Amino acid sequence: MSFKSPDSNPLVKPDPHHPGSAVSRAFLIEAVLNFASFPLITHPRFVLSLLLLHPHHINPSTVLFARLFGGLVVGVLTPLLLAGIPNTRNAIESRRITYLSLGLGECLLVPLLIREALKGGKDTAALSVRAAIGGIMCLAPPLAWRLYVLLARPDLLGKYKEIKEE
């Protein structure tokens, strides 16, 4: 049995009819937009004061969880997206699992935010209605795009052909 390194993959040529350009650009845009989460790491109290219905409830635990959330977005999701941008074999192959992973997360977060918005800012609500709807508006369009690409147009993820070495 021989083991193979991803570095030893044969060279590939992107399919000119399905280069994955749309998804590659979407990855870049989303990766750049994810950096908007950086203030959750650097200035969590300020960001939380804008989002929470009762800013006086901010405590060390909420600050920690805001920083953890920001760290996941900036430190995990952003590199995952950046890795799928080039038209290399590994990048093209990673796009589907990246969209599945991000889409599953959004499928969980959107209903939570809808539930929060339906509380109407009452005593049991943590977020203002405006913040909950803002979160939904940030997550629903990318989720719709991911579903469209994964279910209706998987060719947009890109295809490639191995270049045979002679």
Per residue in 99-138, pLDDT (tens digit) is: 999 999 999 999 999 999 999 988 899 999 999 999 999 9
Q: Which residue has the higher pLDDT, 7 or 67?
A: 67
Q: Which domain holds residue 141?
A: 18-154
Find out whether 157 and 98 touch, Cβ atoms under 8 Å: no
Helix or strand holding residue 12 (H, E) = strand 12-14
Find out whether 9 and 90 touch, Cβ atoms under 8 Å: yes
Q: Which residue has the higher pLDDT, 80 or 6?
A: 80
In the chain, % of residues over pLDDT 70:
96
Find out whether 147 and 103 touch, Cβ atoms under 8 Å: yes
pLDDT surpasses 70 at 7? no
pLDDT surpasses 90 at 9? no
Q: Looking at the domain assignment, is residue 6 inside a domain? A: no
Work out the mean pLDDT of the chain and round it to a whole number: 93
Q: How high is the pLDDT of residue 166?
A: 58
Q: Looking at the domain assignment, is residue 1 inside a domain? A: no
Question: Per the structure block, which two tokens stand in for 127?
Answer: 């977020």
Q: Looking at the domain assignment, is residue 3 inside a domain? A: no
Number of domains in the chain: 1
